[in-house]
Amino acid sequence: MAYRILVAGFQHETNTFAPSKAEYENFVRGEGFPQMVRGADVLKLREVNIPAGGFLIEAERLGYEVVPVIWSGASPSAHVTQAAYERIANEIIQAAASQTLDGLYLDLHGAMVAEHTNDGEGTLLSRLRAVVGPDIPIVVSLDLHANVTDLMLEQADAMVAFRTYPHVDMAETGIKAAQLLDLRLRCGKLQHASLRLPFLIPVNGMCTLLEPARSLYQQLEHLESEGLSLSFTPGFPAADFEECGPVIWGYGLDPQALQAAVGALYDKLLSEEDQWEVPLLLPDDAVRQAMVLAASAQRPIVIADTQDNPGAGGDGNTMGMLKALLSHQARNAAIGLIYDPAAVQAAIAAGLGGFIDIALGGQSGVPGDEPLKGRFEVTHLSDGRCRFEGPMMNGMDVDVGPVAGLKIDDVSIAVSSGKCQMLDRTLYRLAGIDPEKMSVLVNKSSVHFRADFQPIAEHILVAKAPGPMTADPADIPWTRLREGIRLKPNGPAFHH
């Protein structure tokens, strides 16, 4: 008889310092994730590079009978509202309570904070455990930026996380989750071990295309063996609660081998602590460096506007980098995506080739960020629908709402009606901008953009313009971290 496995997804990365919360409607739209789907429509996610897609493919290979319930995700932001959380969580819990199941698979992020719970995933898992009992396996896939809590580790039978940032291995992680579930069903309850790191890691330092993350994950894979699964999440250092931060964990049949592997990764991380720090440039310095490099470059110079990354809680509308481009008279430059629905509507009203006098963006409320007042030419209009072609979310259909291409001086601007970080070159093309032909590109993203932009970039710089997503965790006004954790690699310790 085939095992009956419930499949559900509920994804949110919560920046508790961000300006806007995640409502139910944000999950309906998806905002850079697939749109909310239920029942048989969940099965269509097999074609998308997300964990649930990989799980569904492997579950079919293993001969499981899948019970698809719901898949929903929303762009990173401040807290998930209590109403949205309860509506989606209860749908999953009620499905689990009403079905005869042999196991559950959940596609979660691992860094969800709701208005009424700091540990969105742990709360969901404990409620599910209360419904299905102690013996039904619950297996979870997690984002590399998960803040893994003790409650999550207690309530799940097994969890496995991405190993790439940019996240090109999301479907692969879903396959690993299915294989872990299969191991659990065949061999009974697995041994587990975990260790929590004593320092926070900046988001920009987590990129697995660069050291030290690259070699850390190589060692992690080297230490794995048949029946031994390891994970490391550097965490999401913008969630103000006690268990924010990096965790190493694993599952296996041999407790000694498992403890030794987790310990070896922990020792490597501690010995290389200083390497996890990353240099950040002020906006003027970033533009100056980019222009010097562009003068002799054959390909674009790319600047990450990391502190306004919609993939980490920014709204994509700060003006610091755009103002720096204009003040230094950057030539053949582009920036995107700027989230400003009113500007798009003004552009549509003016029509292609028209000019609009507006105050663009600058609505973040962050000190030092103000709207940019000016006259902009409308160079392109589109409906904002596209299919991602880059390696990260390849094949995913996206709708960022109507898009306008605007131009001021020699700077082209991709302005959208919906939020989405610049992780795929197609998003520039929605605004009539050919990214390969630009001298300087400013991307509202931290690291994900590298998957599709690194192949066309001569150099990549990281800028620290005013924005909601503080790039250096030591700059964040923490209040609830655990006592003594270092606020960045070799940085000051947190004290209440």
CA neighbor of 268 nearest in space, from 216, 329, 317, 230: 216
Please give the angle made by the CA atoms of 139, 144 and 149, to the nearest 5 degrees: 60
pLDDT for the residue numbered 33? 85
Give 108's contacts (C-beta < 8 A, 6+ positions apart): 9, 10, 11, 121, 124, 140, 141, 142, 146
Determine how many CB atoms are found less than 10 A away from the CB of residue 277: 17
End-to-end alpha carbon distance in the chain = 55
pLDDT for the residue numbered 159? 98
Give 283's contacts (C-beta < 8 A, 6+ positions apart): 320, 321, 323, 324, 463, 464, 465
C-alpha neighbours within 13 Å on the C-beta side of residue 496: 7
pLDDT for the residue numbered 481? 97
CA neighbor of 208 nearest in space, from 162, 175, 170, 177: 162
Per the CB < 8 A criterion, the answer to whether 179 and 58 are in contact is: yes
pLDDT for the residue numbered 188? 96
Per the CB < 8 A criterion, the answer to whether 181 and 148 are in contact is: no
Give 292's contacts (C-beta < 8 A, 6+ positions apart): none
Determine how many CB atoms are found less than 10 A away from the CB of residue 136: 17
Query: CA-CA distance, 451 to 177, in Å (whole number)?
Result: 23
Query: CA-CA distance, 253 to 194, in Å (whole number)?
Result: 15
pLDDT for the residue numbered 284? 98
Query: CA-CA distance, 320 to 386, in Å (whole number)?
Result: 28
Per the CB < 8 A criterion, the answer to whether 28 and 80 are in contact is: no
Tokens of 482: 């655990």
pLDDT for the residue numbered 18? 85
Per the CB < 8 A criterion, the answer to whether 310 and 473 are in contact is: no
Tokens of 400: 């960022």
List the pLDDT tens digit at each of the 496 positions of the chain: 799 999 999 999 999 988 889 999 999 988 878 899 999 999 999 988 899 999 999 999 999 999 999 999 998 899 999 999 999 999 999 999 999 999 999 999 999 999 999 999 999 999 999 999 999 999 999 999 999 999 999 999 999 999 999 999 999 999 999 999 999 999 999 999 999 999 999 999 999 999 999 999 999 999 999 999 999 999 999 999 999 999 999 999 999 999 999 999 999 999 999 999 988 999 999 999 999 999 999 999 999 999 999 988 888 999 999 999 999 999 999 999 999 999 999 999 999 999 999 999 999 888 999 999 999 999 999 999 999 999 988 888 888 999 999 999 999 999 999 989 999 999 999 999 999 999 999 999 999 999 999 999 999 999 999 998 889 999 999 999 999 999 999 999 999 8
Residue boundaries of the structural domains of the chain? 4-276, 283-470
pTM for this predicted structure? 0.89
pLDDT for the residue numbered 32? 74
CA neighbor of 318 nearest in space, from 467, 470, 471: 467
3-state secondary structure of 75: coil
**4-276: in CATH 3.40.720.10:** no
C-alpha neighbours within 13 Å on the C-beta side of residue 192: 20
